[in-house]
Chains A and B, each alone.
Chain A
């Protein structure tokens, strides 16, 4: 048993208002836990608190009762005996009369009423007593918000859980509720009141009971809230949204049919208002009420509902059609919310009571008028906008009515279809007959847009009805009227639609063509056994589309629509597994499309688009198409190889482009068709292998590029085993080439390469490039049996200027690293061995007189060779090739994080600085020769600087994730942080006007490609360097791209929040530098970005930038007169920002 004095202290803490809220909450939970753990009985607590519960001091009594209530709220799951509950609820019900201490009584009542039966709950009589006391004593609307909320919660609880007990109160209860909820405004309370009204009818289900007699009063209170007008701003912390309230009110509205005489007129009245949200709400409420009130009651309002609904549909102004290829899938109507809700309601009405509403629709004068007027307009443009809008509204109404059920569908078809067919100019006759005269007559004059449109809506409705569910499809027999009618008209409808969609008449509007295509598409895609159209008609439709594609390629819309329709039909066949149709589709569409590749006329790019799009509609078609494409590629390539035809080269290039853009991704996505890619690559290899007389012109280099891309993508998507086979095959072809010294040992020197004047034949060059593509894109685990020979080959060829070879070398070393971690294959070389081979190669020696062969030199071979590279050579071209090759190797190494990359970068840096030494070198040539020498040397240095771009940049052609490159995380960061100190010290030392800009170029390349986050973290140190770089690089026009890149880095720092803090200190030097760039003459983007940076700087603290104001404003005023508009606009903004720092 708890210490009595301790208990008293807790009670005191709560009752005394001077204690903090947390203390009070703590004391309540302590007392509650004491009772829960049976250390204290409720009885003892009540006895202890007697004084507080009965005192005449209002404040203390209120606190005391509240304490008891709150403790009870904590004890929801604690079993209590009935007598305790009885006496407690009696006490609280009694206390409801005590308005001074009401809060506690409310909390207590609620806590007790909410108890579950397991722990003992309030008895029915007690609940009734509470209700009585509540109705007698409480003036809910005079209370505060929180108390009102508690009151409503009690009411809700009583209605939901003690329905039978309180129902006997009858009228008294209903009046009480009316009084309580009247004029409520708080969103939370409203949610509760709406719910109370919703629950109320469950107590009085009798349609002539007490609720029915006072329904008017209750609805009166509710109706004031409709439509919900919610003005609470979002930031008031109210989590109730307008939609929640609207939903709750809707449920209250539809809770009982006795509201019907009041609700429907109100909703119809609000529906005719001009406020869009009121309209939408009314329609939603009506939909709900229609279902809940039942057919009989709604029928009373049938006429009124229909006429209001019709007006709404006619006037919903955004009911505009779009006739583009995109909308071919659905029905091309972009409806607004009102129209959607209205049509939804109409559908519900028709489903509920089709005799009444369908009768209204059929008898409607407006609809009949539309039918009469459309006959008088011959084509789209003649129809006035107002009529067109009505026409579309009628179309939607008919669509919804037909789609509602089979019965209505039949009736719509019976009543309307013959009239439309008549307007379209088809005489009602058997489908086997040939085109009648009136039809031909109609075609020459253009078609009747209105009838065409309505016809399409009906067809679509019928198709959607059948397609909407399997069950329904089964219940719709082919004997149904709509199906019979369709069957009898299908062939003539097809004729009409075909003639419209193939119309070349100038007068035919796009909308008509769209509808024609749409009609054919609907006819072709009627599902399964309910297909009212014979196979012959289906084939005719396909033929129409194919002929559009082949003949009307100059009419973009027609062509696109037809293609889209064909793709949709293909997809449909695949989805419903229609074998017969699949065969016709294959025969008519796929094969004709492929055959068209060899036709003349249609531009080749369009042919390819058509073929590849059709391919996407199904696997079988794609496989067929891929085969066709391959054959075409082979045929064209052989033309190119043997005859050197440039027209075939163009076509082959487009085919290959299509192959890499569409086919390879498709195979990659589908999976399981690897053998296609394997076959494709093998075909390419064998073809070039078998062509001995190679007649390719030099200008067809573009074809080679596309071929390499296709090869790379195809190989990259293969598995390792297939890649092994491809490498083997490629190597065999390669070995057959005469100009490649695959077997020679590494004894040659670079200089000898130049002297060997054997130019690679163009066939060999192609083979080499293709092989390089294979090596670039293979998986790291693919095996390469002839590694040494290949290495040597690439090293020789890259010095002769083959970039793919250099990239392949880079990929080779990059992927070797991965393999050394995986299962080691004994015959393989490790990365270290390969690197040794590469760097010890004598190929790096550039001097004639450099004697070779002593052991000493071989040991330090790589050092000698590489340093040799820096000191210039006989041929600067050779040197440039070597630098490029080295850069690609370096890229491969840097990506997998190898240390050797450090040596390579040192070589480049050495190159940059060594110009002083070359000029000292004794030159045997004359003065003119020397200047030529310097020129070529400066270009060598520039390439050395740009090697860093290769090292740091991301490349599409090779070493990307797509081509399975090994990428170590954060390699850029690591390189950045090792290079920065080195560069910094070099820049400090460098005084030459020649190498300094190049050093900045290197710096710019590195920093541009480093992630901005890394640059930001080090921005204090980097900003001075960036600024130096900007001013140095702005002197040379050739550096403009690098300058722009560097400026973007700076602007990145300036725009960043953290960056701005560090920038603040060096604001003045940054501004000085940027001001210089405002007038940069060579690149508009530089000027624009510089001004944007200045604008960003204007946001710095005023004390920092105010001194610079004049200095900025003057050049900015000049920029106002810039020749480019974008710059002028930025200048205006920037000037305003700086001018307003007054």
Chain B
């Protein structure tokens, strides 16, 4: 339990790109959405976009990934998924979020990085 809370602490305060609320407040991320296997160094975060056609789903996922990348020791493998049946293009989003190359490419884009940093700012309080 303690381990879950530690992980949740890292990402609960991420701000939604479109609203002034945190992901936890919007129930995008909940306690039971995080699975951790500490021995195998594996984390899986399952998040629930607010609406089915949420265009920001990839950005939210990217924020979570970047935040965990910056907060976890490098030994962890992070897997980020949209909760099954909650997004129209679920497969595409999942694929995009877990593709190392595409994440790296996304972080080359200064506009995107600015947006991510803005969302993450409250988590470094």
Residues of A within 8 A of B (CB): 1117-1118, 1120-1121, 1125, 1128-1129, 1132-1133, 1135-1137, 1139-1140
Contacts and interface: CB of A to CB of B under 8 A. Distances in A.
Contact of A1139 (B9, B10, B70): B70
5 contacts: A1117-B73, A1120-B71, A1128-B6, A1132-B70, A1135-B71
Given A1133-B124, A1136-B124, A1117 B6 contact: no
Given A1117-B73, A1136-B70, 15 more contacts: A1118-B73, A1120-B71, A1125-B6, A1128-B6, A1128-B71, A1129-B9, A1132-B10, A1132-B70, A1132-B71, A1132-B124, A1133-B124, A1135-B70, A1137-B124, A1139-B70, A1140-B117
Interface of B: 6, 9-10, 70-75, 117, 124
Contacts of B124: 1132-1133, 1136-1137
A1129 B5 CA distance: 12
Q: Which 8 A-B pairs have the closest CB atoms?
A: A1121-B73, A1132-B71, A1120-B73, A1136-B124, A1133-B124, A1125-B6, A1136-B70, A1120-B72
A656 to B, nearest CB: 42
A208 to B, nearest CB: 56
A1128 B124 CA distance: 12
Contacts of B6: 1125, 1128
A1120 B73 CA distance: 5
A1120 B70 CA distance: 9
Nearest to B121: A1136
Nearest to A1136: B124
Contacts of B73: 1117-1118, 1120-1121
Contacts of A1135: 70-71
A1125 B74 CA distance: 17
A708 to B, nearest CB: 43
A1018 B117 CA distance: 40
B114 to A, nearest CB: 12
A1121 B75 contact: yes
A309 B7 CA distance: 50
A1132 B75 CA distance: 15
Nearest to A1119: B73
Contacts of A1125: 6
A1117 B74 contact: yes
Nearest to B9: A1129
Nearest to B2: A1125
A1137 B70 CA distance: 11
Nearest to B73: A1121
Contacts of A1132: 10, 70-71, 124
A1129 B72 CA distance: 10
Main secondary structure of the interface of B (DSSP, over half): helix
Contacts of A1129: 9
Nearest to A1133: B124
A1133 to B, nearest CB: 5
A260 to B, nearest CB: 44
Contacts of A1128: 6, 71
Contacts of B10: 1132
Nearest to B6: A1125
A1136 B72 CA distance: 12
Contacts of A1133: 124
B122 to A, nearest CB: 12
A1133 B73 CA distance: 14
A708 B71 CA distance: 53
Nearest to A1129: B9
A260 B118 CA distance: 54
A1140 B124 CA distance: 12
Contacts of A1117: 73-74
A1125 B2 CA distance: 10
A1132 B11 CA distance: 12
A1136 B124 CA distance: 8
Nearest to B117: A1140
B47 to A, nearest CB: 20
Nearest to B41: A1121
A1137 B117 CA distance: 12
B2 to A, nearest CB: 8
A1132 B71 CA distance: 5
Contacts of B75: 1121
B48 to A, nearest CB: 25
Contacts of A1120: 71-73
A1135 B10 CA distance: 13
A1067 to B, nearest CB: 22
A1129 B75 CA distance: 17
Contacts of A1121: 73, 75
Contacts of A1136: 70, 124
B85 to A, nearest CB: 33
Nearest to B3: A1125
B40 to A, nearest CB: 15
Contacts of A1139: 70
Contacts of B72: 1120
A1139 B124 CA distance: 13
Nearest to A1132: B71
A1004 B18 CA distance: 52
Contacts of B9: 1129
Nearest to A1125: B6
A1128 B5 CA distance: 13
A1121 B3 CA distance: 12
Most chain A CB within 10 A, of B6, B9, B10, B124, is at B124
A1117 B70 CA distance: 9
B58 to A, nearest CB: 22
A1140 B118 CA distance: 13
A149 to B, nearest CB: 39
Contacts of A1140: 117
Contacts of B74: 1117
A914 B16 CA distance: 67
B1 to A, nearest CB: 13
Contacts of A1137: 124
A1128 B74 CA distance: 13
A1138 to B, nearest CB: 11
A764 to B, nearest CB: 54
A667 B86 CA distance: 71
Nearest to B120: A1136
Most chain A CB within 10 A, of B6, B70, B74, B75, is at B70
A738 B74 CA distance: 72
B17 to A, nearest CB: 19
Most chain B CB within 10 A, of A1135, A1136, A1139, is at A1136
A1129 B124 CA distance: 9
Contacts of B71: 1120, 1128, 1132, 1135
Nearest to A1134: B124
Nearest to A1128: B6
A1120 B9 CA distance: 14
A1137 B124 CA distance: 9
A1127 to B, nearest CB: 12
B34 to A, nearest CB: 15
Nearest to A1140: B117
A1128 B76 CA distance: 14
Nearest to B67: A1132
B59 to A, nearest CB: 19
A1137 B75 CA distance: 21
A1125 B3 CA distance: 10
Nearest to A1139: B70
Nearest to B71: A1132
A1129 B7 CA distance: 11
A1133 B124 CA distance: 6
A1128 B10 CA distance: 10
A298 to B, nearest CB: 45
A959 to B, nearest CB: 43
Most chain B CB within 10 A, of A1132, A1133, A1135, is at A1132
B83 to A, nearest CB: 26
A1132 B72 CA distance: 8
A1135 to B, nearest CB: 6
B49 to A, nearest CB: 26
